[in-house]
Structure 1
Amino acid sequence: MRAPFDDLVTRHGPAILRVCRAVVGWSDAEDVWSETFLAALRAYPDLPDGANVEAWLVTIAKRKGIDALRAGARRALPVETVPDRGIRDPEPDAELQTALAELTPRQREVIAYHVLGGLPYAEVAEIVGGTAAAARRAAADGLARLRRIYAAADSDLWEAHRG
């Protein structure tokens, strides 16, 4: 007959806690110890009779400790100041803002969601309301308007340089 699980915790708990401390250190040892015994509790009914319970628990603790170390390596660490290594937003382009202001709000939204965000027109239509065809039409009209605005600006620039 198999011993009740709480007898295993009482008998082997201190040794497993020492193993956890050796694997992950004192700060995370109790969490790993808890994870070890939760996993053991789930697997205990399937443990073969006559198995070396302490070795089985040590193996679980070792694996849970490795999992905790890997998770810790991926966890962000708090710092006083965040290093500036990210992508900086460019200064707002006044010409682009002026051009976008000439579009209807629906055209701006559809262009943002489809062209910039990469969403299919069906999803854009769900967000802004209407049909996929209407979203496609708003994007086409908005892009055509932007092309005309930029074409006019380019021709003005060309004329200024020719002069």
Structure 2
Amino acid sequence: MAAVNSPGHPGTALGRPAPGEALMAVPPFEALVAAHGSTVLRVCRALVGPVDADDLWQETFLAALRVYPGTVPVKNWQAWLVAIARNKCVDHHRRAAGVPQPTGQVAQEPPAGPDGVGRALEAAETARRLWAALARLPKMQREAVVYHHIAGLRYAEAAALLGNSEVAARRAAADGMKALRLLLAREEEH
């Protein structure tokens, strides 16, 4: 087994196995949370939006903890956690399908000036636009973009989560990125 360099990097006990490397030793659960927590949160935000992402992040790690360390041998802890997060997000969408959603939005004016609060509001608005554009992508493209570009999974790992081939996952991610750029460009024109 390769030496542990840093959490979440290829060839470490917390990231992907190095080429030709066998299964990893089971790391402490808190080390998995530290190494992959931000990736799981990004996946949750991309699949359900920023409002419910924190709750689903918690549900993901609670579900992982329930079966940890007695899980089947895991080659890639990050992919394992992203798969759990994906399933939690799917469950969330199923539960929310019958719940009416509010239609109106409260307008908020950012304060004038280059202060920290103003910059934070501008960054939040940019993030809101990005997440909204991501939500408008077709499901396959959105999930391919999330798994590869946001979670950092290899195309083969994304393909396994998507239930298709590596080539199809690569195509869906490329088409998704192209559509995302177009959606954001159109929004800036208005």
Structure whose alpha-carbon radius of gyration is higher: 1
TM-score by length of 1: 0.45
Which structure shows the bigger proportion of residues in helix conformation? 1
